Amino acid sequence: MGCVTGKNPLGLMVLVSSLLLSGLSLASELPSAEAIRSALKQAHERYQGLDDGANADYIPALAKVDSDIFGIVLVTVDGKVYSVGDVKSEVSIQSISKVFTMALVTEEKGVDALPKNVGVDATGQVFNSIHAIEQHKGHEMNPLVNAGAITTTSMVEGKGYNDIWNRILRYYSDFAGRELTVLEDIYHSEAETNQRNQAIAHLMYAYGHIEGDPLQATDIYTRQCSVGVNARDLGIMASTLANAGVNPVTGKALVDPENMPEILAVMATAGLYDDAGKWLYRTGLPAKSGVGGGIVAVSPGKFGIAAISPPLDEVGNSVRAQKAIADISAALGGNPYQVMPYKK
Ligand code: GLN
């Protein structure tokens, strides 16, 4: 092909067309630093004053979290971190953790294990529905609702409580690129009030989905939901999902790229509770929210984006985080379904 440099436009065209002819695609184009900074700033300014929604309070300690925390972080797949607002305050990761335990079990047991034991379908019911378990005897659910998530946690390999827990915390920390810890006040508050999740775990045990002690699975699940994360942690975790399972900041490979489409598919169909369809319609982004106020969203091959703001809408999704992420992704062309017609 000869020497191809940026100064040689003809050579570059030859390179591009031969790559396309060979069936290889070029890396998708990343938005410019300027465009990212401006989109983040605008979204933060636009929604900072919005005070709709309320902190979750069914876990008593969540009601006490500062409702004004508002931070947004976007991390591109080449490892550049962009942020605005409060990126240091930690909230509990809550249901966002379900994605990473799903990834861990998928890595340990392969992509067929979770569909077989839990299902990969949206339930159309609230995230802690008991009715959804009864309907199909604990099948036809997914790892992102409580029954599926507690079951997924019960499937993590390890010799006893500590071994399993350390494996989970190690994995989450590798996603964030720093050592994460449990917010003990949140953990104790939920552990004292999680009788519904205990009931869910017992039902999943009764239907044969959980092997071993259902209360141990519930407790490890409660602990995983209480891990403290700031917006920067969540942004890096999201970008690892966007970058085929490799943390773009630390370079550590955490998910086999072959397993990523399945994980993103469940996030797309069930990541934002009963509003997952509305969210996907508006943004096209696989995402996951938590009742601590965080949301992570993934533009595959481009960037991960996260926002934290504790007040939730009636479904349980952060009001400001949803709006900010939707606007930023739209401004940066993040929707993976948004393509232009092929030019012959
Ligand atoms: N730990 C919470 C629960 O089980 C997580 C719920 C959530 O974030 N949707 O209720």
In a domain, 144, yes or no: yes
> Which of 204, 225, 288 has most ligand 1 atoms within 8 Å of CB, for mutation?
225
319-332 and 276-283 are packed helices; what angle lies between their axes, rounded to 10 degrees?
30
**Which is more confident, 96 or 126?**
96
- Could you tell me if the CB of 129 is within 6 A of ligand 1? no
Whether 245 is covered by a domain: the verdict is: yes
Q: Reading across the β-sheet that carries 71-76, which strands appear in turn?
A: 81-85, 71-76, 303-308, 294-299, 287-289
Ligand 1 centre distance from Cα of residue 269 (Å): 18
DSSP string, 243-309: TTTB-TTT--B-S-GGGHHHHHHHHHHHTTGGGHHHHHHHH---EEE-TTSEEEEEETTTEEEEEE-
Domain that holds residue 184: 33-332
Residue 8 lies in a domain: no
**Domain assignment of residue 24, yes or no:** no
On whether residue 21 sits in a domain, the answer given is no
Ligand 1 contacts CB of residue 316 (under 6 A): yes
Ligand 1 neighbourhood includes 72 CB (under 6 angstroms): no
Percent of all residues in the chain with a pLDDT value above 90, rounded to a whole number: 90
Mean pLDDT of 157-186: 98
If one counts the domains in the chain, the total is 1
Residue 327 maps to which CATH number? Answer: 3.40.710.10
Cα of 94 vs centre of ligand 1, distance in Å, is 5
In a domain, 1, yes or no: no
Q: Kindly report, residue by residue over 194-222, the tens digit of the pLDDT.
A: 999 999 999 999 999 999 999 999 999 99
Please tell me the predicted confidence (pLDDT) of residue 28: 62
221 lines ligand 1 (CB under 6 A): no
Give the confidence band of 124 by pLDDT, cuts at 50, 70, 90: confident
**Is residue 341 included in any domain, yes or no?**
no
Ligand 1: residue whose CA is nearest its atom 6: 95
Backbone angles phi, psi at 337, to 5 degrees: -85, -10
Residue 74 falls inside a structural domain? yes
